[in-house]
Amino acid sequence: MSQSAFDDDPDKEPPLDPAAERLQRKLKRLLAVSSLVMVLGFIAVFAAIVYRVTSNDAQADLDAIAATVAIEAGAEVADVEIADGRVIVLLRKENGTSLVYIDPATGRETGRTEFVAR
């Protein structure tokens, strides 16, 4: 009569053998390490997003663009693109079409490509 009625609880699991306990400890360590790696990955991704959103590079690029650009009289701007550090403007004139390459910092024309009919 040394055992009480509480020891016969049907929900109580029997103790594990030593091999199963070692395996359970290994799985818990593996779960902890993989969870830590995942959390560090999320922190790195969010840090990169915050850095890109709050960096001042976008403002520096806007400061380097000229406020005004002179085009020839009677020309109509059809398209504007920024590529390779310069502004490329497609101009339509009454006697043809041309691409004008402009330095974004100064607003000066650096080159021109005329389209002529054959």
Domain ranges of the chain: 16-54, 67-115
Residues 87 and 107: beta-carbon distance below 8 Å:
no
Percent of the chain with pLDDT over 90: 42
Average pLDDT, stretch 33-52?
95
Q: What is the pLDDT of residue 27?
A: 96
Q: Mean of the pLDDT values across residues 5-25?
A: 81
pTM (2 d.p.): 0.46
Mean pLDDT of 99-117: 88
Give the Cα separation of 5 and 84 in Å (integer).
84
C-alpha dihedral sign at 63, 67, 72, 74: positive
pLDDT, residue 8, reads: 66
**Dihedral sign of CA atoms 75, 79, 80, 84 in order:** negative
User: How many CB atoms neighbour CB 103 within 10 A?
Assistant: 16
Mean pLDDT on 38-45: 97
